[in-house]
Amino acid sequence: MLPNINSRERDTIIAALRAWQSAPRLRQSFYYVATAGGAQTPLTEAELDALCRRLDVTVT
């Protein structure tokens, strides 16, 4: 479960997710974080898009 976030926090998260999508170098730099040290597969492009859409309407 995610903590409650405000609109500024949400917008920053969405910006970071979109940056991850558009900059392959970022993926290399943060791959360890995104995969929990290789324990999980990173989100696909479709999953990232769906997450951004979900976050875009979820604000406290």
Query: Is there a contact between 60 and 6 (Cβ–Cβ < 8 Å)?
Result: yes
pLDDT at 26: 76
Cβ atoms within 10 Å, residue 34: 15
Q: Which residue range(s) make up the domain with 38? A: 7-57
Cα-based torsion angle of the residue sequence 42, 46, 48, 54 in order, rounded to the nearest 10 degrees: -140
pLDDT at 58: 59
| In-domain check, residue 2 | no
Q: Which residues of the chain have pLDDT under 70?
A: 1-2, 58-60
pLDDT at 20: 87
pLDDT at 1: 63
pLDDT at 48: 92
Counting the structural domains of the chain, the total is 1
Say what the pTM is.
0.75
| In-domain check, residue 53 | yes
pLDDT at 57: 78
